[in-house]
Structure 1
Amino acid sequence: MPTTEPARPAHHFVAGIGAGPANLSLAALGEDLLPGGLPLFERQPGPAWHPGLLGAHSRLQTSWVKDLVTLVDPRNRLSFLNYLVQTGRIYAFLNAQFDAIPRVEYARYLGWAASELGTVRYGTAIHEIRFADRFELVGADGPVATAEHLVLGLGTHPEVPPCLPPGGLPGVVLAERLDATLAGDSGATGGQVIVVGGGQTGAEAVLSLVRRGVRDIRWLGRRHWFAPLDDSPPANDFYRPAYQRFFHNLPDDVRHAYVGAQVLTSDGVSLETLQEIYRANYEGYLRDGRAPVMILPGRDVVRAGARDGVVTLWCRRASGGSERHTAHLVVLATGRRPAPLPLSAGLAELVELDGAGDPIVDHDYSIRWKHAPRHRIFVQNRGRLSHGLADPNLSLLPVRSAIILNTLLDRPAFTIRDEQVYTMWA
Structure 2
Amino acid sequence: MNGRTQIYDIVGIGIGPFNLGLAALLDPLPDVKALFLDRKPAFSWHPGMLLDGTTLQVPFLADLVTMADPTNPYSFLNYLKEQGRLYAFYFFERFHIPRKEYDAYCRWAAERIASCRFGVEVTQVSGVSEAEALGRMSDHGDADVSAASRASIPALAIAGGGIDQGGADADPAAFGHRVEPISPGELYRIEAVGSDGQLCVYYARNLALGVGSVPHVGETFKQHLAEGNVFHSAQFGERLEQCKHARSITVVGSGQSAAEVFLHLLNGQAEGGYRLDWLTRSPGFFPMEYSKLGLEHFSPDYTSYFYNLPPERKDEVRSKQHLLYKGISAGTIADIYDRLYELTVDGGSPDVRLLAQVDVQAIESLADGEKGYRLTCRHAEQDRAFEHETELVILATGYAHPVPSFLGPLRERVRWDAQGRYEVEPDYRLRLNGEGGGRIYVQNGELHSHGVGAPDLGLGAHRSSVIINSLAGRDVYPVRERNVFQQFGIGSGRGEG
TM-score interval, normalised by the smaller of the two chains:
over 0.9
Rg (Cα) greater in structure: 2
> Equivalents in 2 of 1:405, 1:355: separation in Å?
29
SS of alignment partner, residue 176 of structure 1: helix
Q: CA deviation at 1:97?
A: 2.5
Residues 137 and 287 (structure 1), Cα distance of their counterparts in 2 relative to 1, 3 Å cut: farther
> Equivalents in 2 of 1:66, 1:353: separation in Å?
31
Query: Which of 5, 10, 19 in structure 2 is aligned with 1:23?
Result: 19
1:361 and 2:424 matched: yes
Tell which deviates more after alignment, 386-395 or 281-290.
281-290
Tell which deviates more after alignment, 140-149 or 66-75.
140-149
Tell which deviates more after alignment, 195-204 or 95-104.
95-104
CA shift digits 1:301-336 (9 cap, x unpaired): 111112321122112211112221111111111100
Q: CA deviation at 1:349?
A: 1.0
- Unaligned ranges ≥5, structure 2: 130-186, 490-497
What's the counterpart of residue 463 of structure 2?
Answer: 400
Please give the residue correspondences for 1:209-224 in structure 2 after superposition, counting only pairs within 5 Å: 209-213=265-269, 214=272, 216-224=275-283
Residues 183 and 38 (structure 1), Cα distance of their counterparts in 2 relative to 1, 3 Å cut: farther
What's the counterpart of residue 302 of structure 2?
Answer: 243
What's the counterpart of residue 232 of structure 2?
Answer: 174
2:439 aligned partner, one-letter code: R
Query: What TM-score comes out, normalization by structure 1 length?
Result: 0.94
> Equivalents in 1 of 2:48, 2:60: separation in Å?
21
Contact 1:171 1:309 in 2 (8 A): no
Q: CA deviation at 1:106?
A: 0.5
What's the counterpart of residue 147 of structure 1?
Answer: 204
What's the counterpart of residue 363 of structure 2?
Answer: 304
Residues 218 and 34 (structure 1), Cα distance of their counterparts in 2 relative to 1, 3 Å cut: farther
Contact 2:127 2:437 in 1 (8 A): no
Residues 90 and 68 (structure 1), Cα distance of their counterparts in 2 relative to 1, 3 Å cut: same
> Equivalents in 2 of 1:184, 1:170: separation in Å?
10
1:195 and 2:251 matched: yes
> Equivalents in 1 of 2:433, 2:30: separation in Å?
24
Residues 288 and 99 (structure 1), Cα distance of their counterparts in 2 relative to 1, 3 Å cut: farther
Aligned-residue Cα RMSD (Å) equals 1.9
1:280 and 2:339 matched: yes
Q: How many residues align?
A: 420
Contact 1:282 1:291 in 2 (8 A): no
Tell which deviates more after alignment, 60-69 or 314-323.
314-323
What's the counterpart of residue 138 of structure 2?
Answer: none
What's the counterpart of residue 342 of structure 1?
Answer: 405
> Equivalents in 2 of 1:31, 1:346: separation in Å?
30
Contact 2:125 2:408 in 1 (8 A): no
Q: CA deviation at 1:234?
A: 2.1
What's the counterpart of residue 43 of structure 1?
Answer: 39
1:107 and 2:170 matched: no
> Equivalents in 2 of 1:267, 1:241: separation in Å?
20
CA shift digits 1:40-76 (9 cap, x unpaired): 1111111211111101111111111111111121111
1:317 and 2:379 matched: yes
Please give the residue correspondences for 1:223-238 in structure 2 after superposition, counting only pairs within 5 Å: 223-238=282-297
Q: CA deviation at 1:166?
A: 4.2
1:136 and 2:189 matched: yes
What's the counterpart of residue 70 of structure 1?
Answer: 66
Tell which deviates more after alignment, 312-321 or 268-277.
312-321
2:428 aligned partner, one-letter code: Y
CA shift digits 1:164-218 (9 cap, x unpaired): 2346244112212223222256523xx2210011110001101111222255211
| Identity within the alignment, % | 32
1:21 aligned partner, one-letter code: P
Tell which deviates more after alignment, 118-127 or 164-173.
164-173
Residues 63 and 6 (structure 1), Cα distance of their counterparts in 2 relative to 1, 3 Å cut: closer
What's the counterpart of residue 375 of structure 1?
Answer: 438
Q: CA deviation at 1:16?
A: 0.5
SS of alignment partner, residue 32 of structure 1: coil
Residues 219 and 184 (structure 1), Cα distance of their counterparts in 2 relative to 1, 3 Å cut: closer
What's the counterpart of residue 155 of structure 2?
Answer: none
> Equivalents in 1 of 2:468, 2:455: separation in Å?
18
1:159 and 2:222 matched: no
Q: CA deviation at 1:373?
A: 8.0
Residues 276 and 355 (structure 1), Cα distance of their counterparts in 2 relative to 1, 3 Å cut: same
Residues 275 and 186 (structure 1), Cα distance of their counterparts in 2 relative to 1, 3 Å cut: closer
Query: Which of 33, 42, 56 in structure 2 is aligned with 1:60?
Result: 56
> Equivalents in 2 of 1:130, 1:300: separation in Å?
43
> Equivalents in 2 of 1:24, 1:161: separation in Å?
30
Q: CA deviation at 1:389?
A: 0.7
What's the counterpart of residue 450 of structure 2?
Answer: 387
Q: CA deviation at 1:284?
A: 1.1
CA shift digits 1:341-365 (9 cap, x unpaired): 2344331111111001112011011
1:239 aligned partner, one-letter code: F
2:375 aligned partner, one-letter code: L
Tell which deviates more after alignment, 175-184 or 41-50.
175-184
Q: CA deviation at 1:34?
A: 6.5
> Equivalents in 2 of 1:420, 1:252: separation in Å?
24
